[in-house]
Amino acid sequence: MIPLKHNFAYCILDSSGRMDSDMRESGFYFLDTRVLSQYKWSFAGFDCLHRVAADGRQLTEYWSRSRDHRQELAIRRQLRLSEGGFRDVLAISNTDHRFHRFQVDLALNSDFADMFEVRGQFADLDHRTVTCARGTHHYHGHYKATDDAEHDVRVHLTGADFHDEVEIPPGKTIELVVEATVSSSLPQGRLPLQLPEKWLGEAPDSESQGVYEQACADLSCLLLATDEGLTVAAGMPWFVTPFGRDAIITAWFLLPRYPELALGVLRFLGHHQGQHEDSFRDEQPGKILHEQRYGELSRTGCLPFQTYYGSADSTPLYLLLLADTVRRTGRDSLIGELRPHWEAGLNWMMKHRDERGLIVFRGNDRGLTIQSWKDSNDSLSYADGTLGQGALAVAEVQGYAFAAFQAAAQFYAHLGDQVQADNYLREAQLIRQRLHDWFWMPEHDNFAIALDEQGRKLDVNSSDSGHLLWTGVVFEDKAARLVPRMLRDDMWSGWGLRTLSTEAHMYNPLSYHNGSVWPHDTALFAAGLKRYGFNAEFDRVTRSLVDLASSQSDRRLPELVGGYSRETHPPLPYLDACRPQAWSAAAMVYLLTAGEQT
């Protein structure tokens, strides 16, 4: 997969640089809709000598056709995305002393499929009528959705026709230029994406320069321009849309280098904060969204994801990010500016606790069953492999709540309301004590991943405890026992922290959340190590993730890799993983600049 993106427009190309139906996700997309399902050059008789995708927006290829041990024709292709389309330029050179002919062959098609159809999570819409008008050098695809939203894609070729044969004299070069543009009646995706050059600065050292620059390029291409400011898409190809949890953690990782992203994320999420009770979309007043989608299936209510709130942790994480942004930037005015949002979030947290004072969630059959970060259906289990049912209280969500209550206490103290400040300090200490009393497993030197409604521990060793260290909720004496436990061979793969211990019944090294290694998850553990003064362990984790990125041909951290031991296996890919992925790229920036955190 070759991913290219700019703002809300993106391409998924196959390994040959084409958009073709042989690869289900390939195509050119805009606002969660595939406007070109086929864009395929046929370079018959040519071999690709070199291919590189640069800065997340441009693909460059070099093709050659040879006979009798000498090159006849050479192609230099550059495809570059823009705000609402792409430009594809072919420079075709005759390097021989004879005339040669080149067959132009560009196949085009549109299906205007919703991303959830492409992913195979929803049957094709049988009502879809797509209009495709084809000329000799012009193509126009049009679709009017059931909610009357309209999408258009236009492709124009100059220099030849779509299916033509051109003659090139010896030593001469001809140029074919394709301009593709997309337009939509939807209001989103129209703001220009503007970013300072070197917005994340230089690599801190020459040794890590390659992986750092790749992480920066990934983050640049994943940014989204909205009316409220910059936010970031979660990852390609499946999640090129704003997410709550992902954007907050990505922005937190980047605070040392670019706190402006946090400002945009906080304003965007605040603007779309829950206002009503809506069980279909898991919305409640004050709740921070899980994701926002722009495709037809979500807009028309076939799926709940237009603005979907199925996340138990985005709301406390919102307060955590705001507190650290204020501390990092010194912009105390943000406390007043965003007060309606953080106070509404606090009210949601207080209202949606159970009788034990824990934040819980219940799954949504049309949305997400699991509403913490490990949101696959089988991610929360007991030691015997039985899955947790009913209302579940996940460990790290309580840690986020601890940090959120501490943040609220700081905000109210700044506003001169010491009574409220003291109230939330007490709430923070109460949830901290409950976490230790009810989740701690002394036989494992670890916290249970969750509690069920009856208070029974989901008694597996998982990576979630690393998030608890990050929030600072863990007592010092427990941290001294927890850290070496997390670095034991059943949890530590050598490439990173396994999401689930190899000793657990549900362990599977190439599962989504039951034993795989997620770089952002490991990096939050590293942030916890640094917080508690485990500096040697922090350096060990950092080296491992830098090694993981360096082992990849594109030098990027993928969303996740297999949880096999480094001693026996290379980092094997999880085939549906996003790459690039925002919080993975941001994790690399954080680890390499952690010394700049204050």
Domains of the chain: 2-184 (2.70.98.40), 209-596 (1.50.10.10)
For residue 482, pLDDT beyond 90: yes
In angstroms, the CA 153 to CA 180 distance is 7
User: Going along 243-389, which residue ranges are E strands?
Assistant: 291-292, 307-308
DSSP character at residue 23: S
pLDDT averaged over the chain? 94
148, 286, 249: which is closest to 467 by C-alpha?
249
Which helix (H) or strand (E) is 82 found in, with range?
strand 70-82
Q: What share of the chain is helix, strand, coil (3-state, %, to 5)?
A: 30, 25, 40
In angstroms, the CA 255 to CA 590 distance is 8
In angstroms, the CA 485 to CA 480 distance is 9
Percent of the chain with pLDDT over 70: 99
pLDDT classification of 120: cutoffs 50, 70, 90 = confident
pLDDT in tens, 516-538: 999 999 999 999 999 999 999 99
- Average pLDDT (79-104) is 95
Q: Could you give the angle at which helices 209-222 and 582-593 cross, rounded to 10 degrees?
A: 140
Please give the backbone phi and psi of residue 456, each rounded to the nearest 5 degrees, phi first: -75, 135
Least confident span in 12-21, 338-347, 450-459:
12-21
Please give the backbone phi and psi of residue 169, each rounded to the nearest 5 degrees, phi first: -70, 160
Least confident span in 235-239, 393-397, 462-466, 501-505:
235-239
For residue 598, pLDDT beyond 60: no
pLDDT classification of 84: cutoffs 50, 70, 90 = confident
Written as six digits, the tokens of 474 are 């863990």
- Average pLDDT (302-307) is 94
Please give the backbone phi and psi of residue 151, each rounded to the nearest 5 degrees, phi first: -125, 140
- Average pLDDT (559-586) is 94
Measured in residues, the chain has a length of 598
Residues 160 and 41: beta-carbon distance below 8 Å: no
Q: Residue 500 is which amino acid?
A: L
DSSP character at residue 594: G
pLDDT classification of 196: cutoffs 50, 70, 90 = confident
Written as six digits, the tokens of 258 are 């670019």
Residues 434 and 358: beta-carbon distance below 8 Å: yes
Q: Could you give the angle at which helices 259-271 and 314-329 cross, rounded to 10 degrees?
A: 140
In angstroms, the CA 417 to CA 46 distance is 72
pLDDT in tens, 407-458: 999 999 999 999 999 999 999 999 999 999 999 999 999 999 999 999 999 9
In angstroms, the CA 96 to CA 15 distance is 29
- Average pLDDT (323-332) is 96
More confident site: 440 or 52 = 440
115, 242, 149: which is closest to 582 by C-alpha?
242
Q: Residue 161 is which amino acid?
A: D
Burial of 196 (0-12, 13-18, 19+ CB in 10 A): exposed
How many Cβ atoms from other residues are within 10 Å of residue 303's Cβ?
A: 21
pLDDT classification of 177: cutoffs 50, 70, 90 = very high
- Average pLDDT (244-257) is 97
For residue 596, pLDDT beyond 80: no
In angstroms, the CA 87 to CA 429 distance is 57
For residue 26, pLDDT beyond 70: yes
- pLDDT score recorded for residue 23: 82
In angstroms, the CA 88 to CA 74 distance is 16
- pLDDT score recorded for residue 123: 67
Least confident span in 332-341, 360-369, 529-538:
360-369
